[in-house]
Structure 1
Amino acid sequence: MEYFVKSGNPEKQRVSCLIVGVFERRTLTPMAEIIDLASDGLLSSVLRRGDMDGKPGTTLVLHNVPGTLADRVMLVGLGRERNLDEASYRKALAASSKALQATGAIDAASYLTHLSIKNRDYQWNVKQAVLISQDTLYRFDACRGAKAREELSPSKLERYTFDVPRRSDLPAGESGAKEALAIAHGTALAKTLANLPGNICTPAYLAEQARQLAENTGSITTRVLEQADMQALGMGALLAVASGSRQPPKLIIMEYLHGAADEKPIVLVGKGLTFDAGGISIKPSAAMDEMKFDMCGGASVFGTLQAIAELKLPMNVVGIVPSSENLPDGQAVKPGDIVTSMSGQTIEVLNTDAEGRLILCDALTYAEQTYDPAYCIDMATLTGACVVALGSIASGLMSNHSPLGRALLAAGEQIGDRAWELPLWPEFDENLKSEFADIANIATKGAREAGAIIGGTFLHRFTKKMKWAHLDIAGTAWQGKRASGRPVPLLVQYLINTQARRTDE
């Protein structure tokens, strides 16, 4: 798929499909009015007949509209004009992209990017349009047979143009399209890795994909620490989780170092549990297949690194993915076992299904001791409690550094990949007291209270020397049976903003 940003009159576009908006109560947008005038009132006539009323997310395709050079004109419902906001704009983009795939058009020009969204510019408009188009086009059929893949024929769309009002708006629109494509490619990589089943996407497979990413980009260096390396480093928490699996654990390190030599890196740490059965504290069988998604945090690190490599951002970023499986076995860690983390803190494992924090804590200590990062951000499908608290709309955010937390929240709002901040107060530390070790891996009092915060509080015990943030993506990393690719958009937007701020300074 090729994307273009242009500025031109809608009735002069020689394309397979021309896309314009209609507000509720049969009110044409300015671009739709131009088409209506060129066609001697055809659009107004269609609206009067009631074929389209402008309700949000509705579409109507008209063929051979007089006065235009397009094969089709698609009308897209926008809802009430006074209610047009970011959410309704995205809904209109999604509806038009989905309807466009069904038309068989090979090229299209959209004028929805002319719409005025409060506090947003045309760079943002085009960026959202490309992101949503790419999301609509994404398919995962790697595990289907050849015949099934052939039957699920891809979209015929080859060229998609987004129009902006003036030629002076072209640079902004082109910048938005470029950033969106990189984010979309990174998001697609994260989705594909996460959608793969656990028998294919093992820790070794992830490690090989990291090496492949380095080869493909030419700007990333990959290293993989093996089980013996982790033993030498004293990563007793990570190794405890892996002890029940025949798949050896991997600590995957991807370095993108293209900033100043003295610039401390931003380190991203993503949970890479390629399958989580809960260990000895085994999960219920219902929906256990979805536990292949327990590596979505790690997948988002892959996607983010690919995106910034494509954008060639001049900064230093390191991605770390601790990867293992969590399975029941005669050698698996047991409830009540005490393990020693790389930091030297001992951990009483009261529930083997609270394993993500165990593999992350050693990776976070490694990040601190090896890279002394400017900022450290971890992301993990950590707690079901976060799903209860925030659902699938927002990721949970906790941070020990307010400016970092605010920057992540702002990036999420900007790109449409939201997070919501939860408190990280010292009072929560009391919940993790252990009778026998430095810390327990689950709450020892108030067991049903503040589960997402307790998970973040555990990780904070290993990050107090860093400016750190934690993203709990348990509710946002997948929807139904499909990976979402989140929080790749949030992370990439945060890094773009960080680099832009450094440049301005």
Structure 2
Amino acid sequence: MNFSYAKEASENVKADALVIPAFESDNPLKDYACGPAVSKLFLKGDFTGKSGQIMVLPAQGAVKADRVILLGLGKVEKACGKVIADALADVYRHGSIDAQKIKTLAIATEVAGEPEGVKARDLGRAIADAAIFGSYRFLNHHTKDKHVKRVWVEKTLIAGVPAKHLAELKTGQERGAIVATYTCHARDLVNEPSNFMKPRHLAKFAKDMAAKIPGLKCRVLEKPELEKLKMGSFLGVNAGSADPARLIILEWNGGKKGDKPLAYVGKGLCFDTGGYNIKPNSLGMKGDMGGGAATICALGAIAALKLPINAVGVVPATENEISGTAYHPGDILHSMSGQTIEVDNTDAEGRLILCDALTYTQRNYKPRVVVDMATLTGAAVVAVGSKFVAMMGNDAETIEHFEHAFNRVGENVWELPLPDCYDKLLDSPVADMKNIGGNPGTITAGLFLRRFVDEGQKWVHLDIAGSALYDGDNWGLWNAKSPTGSPVRALVEYAEHCFANPGHKLDSEHGHKHGDGHLHKH
């Protein structure tokens, strides 16, 4: 997607179509210079600015663009970047784009921007999000499908920006475009079928990505190295797979030498059969590496933005397969930490690969904050639904910062507790612990991982089992049942505005103005 800026007023911009966003009102176009002329193109009351309204009209000389696309933003008091992004994304995937061959789309910003709407930087990010997510499609394996031939917007022309806000809006758009692009890379990784996305393929993507970004380093530890490190828990899960495990490591040193890094650790389970505790239906389990994809792509965005921090991403990549060499229920695994684990259920494998990755990360990088993320438990979807990330952790300030990071990008998060009373459910009579503790399943999974967090280490656990895959039920930027790339945007937001600025006053762009993107705390 190409972005450019028009010097002339919106009504004088030449384009295939001009999008005119408007808040709900009896006269929604009253604040536009072209409002009276455009209002003559439709009957009074046909367009009111109600949220979700899209009306495509021939311009008939009312503006210089060939067409006008009226876009309803809803109530002005609910104005925020997310509202604008969600509405505008619908324009980019609207059927008229293809039907009328709209390749250059101009967007009028006079009303949506400050002071009536949102801050200029947030508006810029909203436009980038809308354009990139609204135009997203995964076509790697299409050959003759109609979607391949469909016309999509190629150029977004941003018009009507007051000179005093131009620099801020442009900064927001440029940075937003980088983050949205890497989020779509994560979506691509999760969309790939497992025969095209084995651990070796995930490792290659990380290496190729790092090679394109100056200063970003990538190393991949192969199975012999993992054996030397005594990663028995990670390798136990990999035992049944013909594709050897890999530990993917990305390093970005944009901060001061010696500063403790931010560490992201993501589950890279490229396919999950459930092992000998076989799943009744494993369709969709190609997406069990969503946490690893998010980790890799968040590091890519952090490096592309040249954030002034040190950061590391660690992804244990494997499959959980059934074979004559696979691990069994009742096996005891010796983890890298030295703790032993009784395998009560081979389908609770994500925590088994994450625990060794957490140990490796803490021993080798001594991070200031470590965050793990995984499509870990179906119980998370039961607990918080399909549109929320379930978050746990051991440091109140870090938890609060992540709540604000999710809110800033318009994604939902809910903090769950980690009470000691449930920890004993993990006790085993034959090992230091077992890998499942029963209900509440999301919490006991978090408690299992907590056993591998060093004393004094700030740690957050994100269970993205619900949010990593859009369920098709009218959810903002996402346009079809497909991976969302969550939580790449929140990870980058936290890195830039919280981790990089300790003590920074949190700015909640969305506040409590709408249903999604709120702060939610147990």
Q: Same fold (TM over 0.5)?
A: yes
Aligned mate of 1:453, from 443, 447, 462: 443
Sequence identity (%): 37
In the other structure, the counterpart of 2:112 is: 115
Of the structure 1 ranges 17-26 and 202-211, higher mean CA displacement relative to structure 2 is found in 17-26
* 1:377 has 2:375 as partner: no
Counterpart CA distance in 1 for 2:391 and 2:226 is 29
Task: Give the counterpart letter for 1:111 in structure 2.
Answer: A
CA distance in 2, matches of 1:504, 1:284: 48
The residue aligned with 1:52 is 47
Tell me, yes or no, if the aligned pair for 1:277 and 1:328 is still in contact at 8 Å.
Answer: yes
What is the identity, as a one-letter code, of the residue corresponding to 2:21? G
Q: Residues 43 and 120 of structure 1: is their aligned pair in 2 closer, same or farther, counting only changes over 3 Å?
A: closer
Give the C-alpha shift of residue 152 in structure 1.
1.7
Code of the residue aligned with 1:493 in structure 2: it is E
1:11 corresponds to: 11
Provide closer, same or farther for how the CA distance between residues 135 and 416 of structure 1 changes in structure 2, counting only shifts above 3 A.
same
Aligned counterpart in structure 2 of residue 405 of structure 1, from 399, 408, 425 = 399
Q: Would you say 1:187 and 2:183 are equivalent positions?
A: yes
| Residue in structure 2 matched with residue 20 of structure 1 by the alignment | 20
Contact 2:266 2:295 in 1 (8 A): yes
Contact 2:268-2:289 at 8 Å conserved across structures: yes
Q: Report the CA distance between 1:116 and its aligned residue.
A: 5.7
> Separation in 1 of the partners of 2:80 and 2:325?
55
Counterparts of 1:143 and 1:11, CA distance in 2: 41
Partner SS, residue 333 of structure 2? strand
Q: Which amino acid aligns with 1:399?
A: G
8 A Cα contact 1:60 1:75, kept in partner: yes
2:252 equivalent to 1:261: no
Q: Which amino acid aligns with 1:136?
A: G
1:306 shift after superposition:
1.5
| Whole-angstrom CA distance in 2 between matches of 1:124 and 1:78 | 15
The Cα shift of 1:144 comes to: 2.2
2:267 corresponds to 1:271: yes
Q: Aligned pair in 2 of structure 1 residues 346, 503: CA closer, same or farther (>3 Å)?
A: closer
Q: Give the Cα separation in 1 of the matches to 2:141 and 2:110.
A: 36
CA contact (8 A) 1:377 1:468 kept: yes
Q: Secondary structure at the match of 2:288?
A: helix
8 Å CA contact 1:18–1:108 kept in 2: the answer is yes
- State the partner residue of 2:477: none
Task: Return the offset for 1:11.
Answer: 1.6
Shift of 1:106: 2.4
Which residue of 298, 323, 327 corresponds with 2:292?
Answer: 298
Q: d(CA) in 2 for partners of 1:105 and 1:119?
A: 27
What RMSD over aligned residues (CA atoms) do the two structures have, in Å? 2.2
| Deviation at residue 387 of structure 1 after TM alignment | 0.8
Deviation, 1:119, is 9.0
Q: Which residue of 2 aligns with 1:367?
A: 361
Q: Which residue of 2 aligns with 1:98?
A: 93
**Which residue identity does 2:466 align to in structure 1?**
G
2:137 alignment partner, one of 136, 139, 145: 139
Tell me: CA distance 1:313–1:25, structure 2 relative to 1, closer, same or farther (3 Å).
closer
* Residue 63 (structure 1) shift: 1.0
The equivalent residue for 1:205 is: 201
CA distance 1:337–1:409, change in 2 (3 Å): same
Distance 1:432 1:216, change over 3 A: same
Task: Quote the residue 2:125 is aligned against.
Answer: 127
Structure 2 residues without counterparts, runs of 5 or longer: 472-480, 506-522
Q: Report which stretch shifted further, 78-87 or 56-65.
A: 78-87
Report the CA distance shift for 1:35/1:294 in structure 2 as closer, same or farther (over 3 A): same
Q: Which residue in the other structure is 1:34 paired with?
A: 33
| Cα shift at 1:62 | 1.5
Q: Deviations over 1:419-465 (max 9, x none)?
A: 2111122222122111111111101xxx2x22111111110100133
Partner Cα distance (2:195, 2:47) in 1: 48
Match in the other structure for 1:488: 488
1:478 corresponds to:
469
Aligned pair partner of 1:167 in 163, 168, 175: 163
Report the CA distance between 1:504 and its aligned residue. 7.4
Deviation at 1:82, TM superposition (A): 4.4
**Quick one: which amino acid aligns to residue 115 of structure 1?**
A
Q: Which stretch shows the higher mean deviation, 459-468 or 237-246?
A: 459-468
**2:377 pairs with 1:387:** no
Change (3 A) 1:119 1:24: closer
- CA displacement at 1:243 relative to structure 2: 0.7
> Would the alpha carbon gap of residues 113 and 253 (structure 1) be closer, same or farther in structure 2, given more than 3 Å must change?
farther
Supply the distance in 1 between the matched residues of 2:242 and 2:280 (Cα, whole angstroms): 22
Query: Mind listing any 5+ residue stretches in structure 1 that lack a counterpart?
Result: none
Offset at residue 108 of structure 1 (A): 2.0
Quick check: 2:15–2:104 contact (8 Å CA) kept in 1?
Answer: yes
Match of 1:469, SS?
Answer: strand
Q: How far, CA to CA, are the matches of 1:418 and 1:344 in structure 2? A: 36
The residue type equivalent to 2:467 in the other structure is T
Deviations 1:206-261 (A, max 9, x none): 11112111212232211111111111111110011011111111111111122211
**Retained in 2: the 8 A contact 1:477–1:487?**
yes
**88-97 vs 292-301, which deviates more?**
88-97
SS of the aligned residue for 1:28 comes to coil
C-alpha separation between the residues in 2 aligned to 1:53 and 1:476? Answer: 33
Letter of the aligned partner of 1:280 in structure 2? Answer: Y
CA contact (8 A) 1:24 1:78 kept: yes
Q: 1:62 to 1:120 in 2, by over 3 A?
A: closer
Once the two structures are TM-superposed, the CA of residue 392 in structure 1 deviates from its matched residue by 2.0
Q: Which moved more, 1:11-20 or 1:495-504?
A: 495-504
Counterpart CA distance in 2 for 1:156 and 1:384 is 36
Higher share in helix: 1
Q: Secondary structure at the match of 1:128?
A: helix
Contact 1:186 1:305 survives alignment (8 Å): no
Superposition deviation, residue 53 in structure 1: 3.9
Indicate how the Cα distance of structure 1 residues 188 and 45 shifts in structure 2: closer, same or farther if over 3 A, else same.
closer
How many aligned residue pairs are there? 492
- Residue 10 of structure 1: how far off its partner (Å): 2.0
Contact 1:21 1:28 in 2 (8 A): no
Q: 1:468 aligns with which of 444, 455, 459?
A: 459
Cα offset, 1:4, TM superposition: 2.7
Partner of 1:313: 307
1:353 to 335, 347, 352: 347
Q: CA deviation at 1:417?
A: 2.2
Using the alignment, how far apart are the partners of 2:7 and 2:168 within structure 1? 12
- Greater CA drift, 256-265 or 341-350: 256-265
User: Residue 175 of structure 1: CA displacement?
Assistant: 1.1
Change (3 A) 1:112 1:281: farther
Q: Distance in 2 between matches of 1:60 and 1:11?
A: 17
Which residue of the partner structure matches residue 410 of structure 2? 416
SS at match of 1:152: helix
Q: Could you state the TM-score of these two structures normalised by the residue count of structure 1?
A: 0.92
